[in-house]
Each structure stands twice: as structure tokens, then as C-alpha cells.
Amino acid sequence: YTFSEPECCGGFGFKNPDDGAILNKDIIRYMQLFSELNNSNMLKSEYNTILEIGGGFGGLAVQFKRNYPNVKYFIVDLPHVLYFSASYIKSNFPKSNIYIYDNDACVDFDKYDFILLAPWAIDSIKNKSIDLVANQASLGEMTESQVDYYLSNIDRVMKDKGVFFSQNKRFNNPWNSELNNLTDKLVDQFSTINPEVIYTEKLLSFKNRLKSLVYGKKSSSLLPINKYIKLILVKKKLMN
């Protein structure tokens, strides 16, 4: 697998002197996704379809397409964001066919390489048609009902042996009073391939609460906890 910030769009970052790859925070985050899947033996040698919830400017889509040239890539995001995704993707793959949601009643997705959809159009994706679903740092920003909407649709479109990769904050954002505990919702809806991550984070949180009571909240004895928890999820019936 190869990862590098494309030079066609400015190529910001630092250049690796060993192979010339341009690395930055986003590229490292994408590499982490591949690494987590690989370490859990859930990284496939080939993907037919990938769905990304909250694709942003299209960075992960470009890296996946570079490593899996035949993949069909779906992005679901806010309508105005989809135009940024389309511009970035087209700059990297000028010959690619890109569909941007425009209220069409019936669209043949088979002829497109990238399909960019508004949130309410996710139901146009066929049942059990997606190999991998990815979400990084956006589900935790949504309301309870929005998360429920996405999780039910993710469960619907995932193939029976599909995989859902989630990289989100362990709990809700302090300023988001409309979402209780995202991690609990994820493990209620899906089975976890790497449950030890949850156990470790909860144990560290518990120990820190005890230490903060004894030594104070700013104690140097507090244990470091990852800001984001990376979960690899599958359909519950697959684990039963």
C-alpha cells in the first residue's frame, strides 16, 4: 500500500526522504485506518464497494482509489461539502466518472466510479451491497436520531461479511447535549472485532476518575487516554 498527499492539489506536508511520499495529519489518519484493519485481519486484498459517512474533501476516497483502483466509492455528506469532494477527486482522477446527488429518481450507479450522496439519499444504496463502511470523527457530532438513522442504514447496506470502521471520540462531545454515548450505540447495533479497545479505555477512565479524586484533576499521575476510539464492527448475526 502507498500513501502520499497528492501534489496536484498543493502537496502540503513534509516529504519522506526515503520514498518521497508527502505526509501530513490526514494521511497518517488514513494509514491508521488501514493499519487497524490489517492488524485485525479484516483488510481485504480487494474491495468492490466502499461507503464513507462524512467524506469531507475526499482525502480518504483518493487514498483508497489509489490502492484499490477498481473500487466503487460512495460518499455521504452535506450537499455543499460534496462539491469539495468532487473537485478534489476529479483533480486526482481526471478520467473518473463522478455522480453528485441532484434529486434524480432513478440513477444507474454501475457506470460511476464515485457516487456522492446527500444524507437523505443513502436509502438509494442497495441492501447488502457494501464491503466496507468508514466513518472518522463525524458521528459524534450528530444528534441521537441522526446517529440512529445512519447506523440502521449502515447495517442495511453492509454485506453479511462487511466491515464498519469507526474512529470517533469515546463519548459525546461536551458541547453536544443531543447525543449520550456513541460507543454504546455502536456496540448495541454491531458486534466488535476489537472489544479490548473499549475495555482498556473504560478501565483507564475509571482509574483516572479515582486518581483525580485523590490527587486532583490536573494531577501528573493521570493516565493518557486516546482522544478517539477506533472500532472495527461487523453485523451481529455474523458473530452469533
30-34, 120-124, 159-163, 192-196: range with lowest mean pLDDT: 192-196
Q: Residue 172: which pLDDT band, with cuts at 50, 70 and 90?
A: low
* pTM metric for this prediction: 0.86
Question: How far out from the chain centre does Cα 109 lie?
Answer: 21
Nearest Cα to Cα of residue 223 among 239, 210, 236: 210
Average pLDDT of span 212-224:
53
Q: What is the pLDDT of residue 107?
A: 83
Q: What is the pLDDT of residue 201?
A: 57
Percent of the chain with pLDDT over 90: 60
Angle between helices 144-157 and 182-189 (to 10 degrees): 30
Query: Would you call 27 helix, strand, or coil by DSSP?
Result: helix
Nearest Cα to Cα of residue 93 among 22, 8, 1, 3: 8
Q: What is the pLDDT of residue 222?
A: 47
Q: What is the pLDDT of residue 106?
A: 73
User: Rounded mean pLDDT of the chain?
Assistant: 86
Alpha-carbon span 99 to 116, nearest angstrom: 6
Q: Give the angle 68-27-198 at the CA atoms, nearest 5°.
A: 90
Average pLDDT of span 200-210:
54
Alpha-carbon span 155 to 147, nearest angstrom: 12
Average pLDDT of span 148-154:
97
Written as one string, the DSSP assignment of 101-163 is: ----S---GGG-SEEEE-GGGGGGSPTT-EEEEEEES-GGGS-HHHHHHHHHHHHHHEEEEEE
Alpha-carbon span 50 to 32, nearest angstrom: 17
Q: Residue 130: which pLDDT band, with cuts at 50, 70 and 90?
A: very high
Scan for cell 463522478, then name that residue.
Answer: 98
Scan for cell 495529519, then name that residue.
Answer: 25
In order of 154, 161, 191, the CA distances from 42 in angstroms are 17, 10, 14
Average pLDDT of span 176-182:
83
Q: What is the pLDDT of residue 224?
A: 46
Alpha-carbon span 105 to 112, nearest angstrom: 16
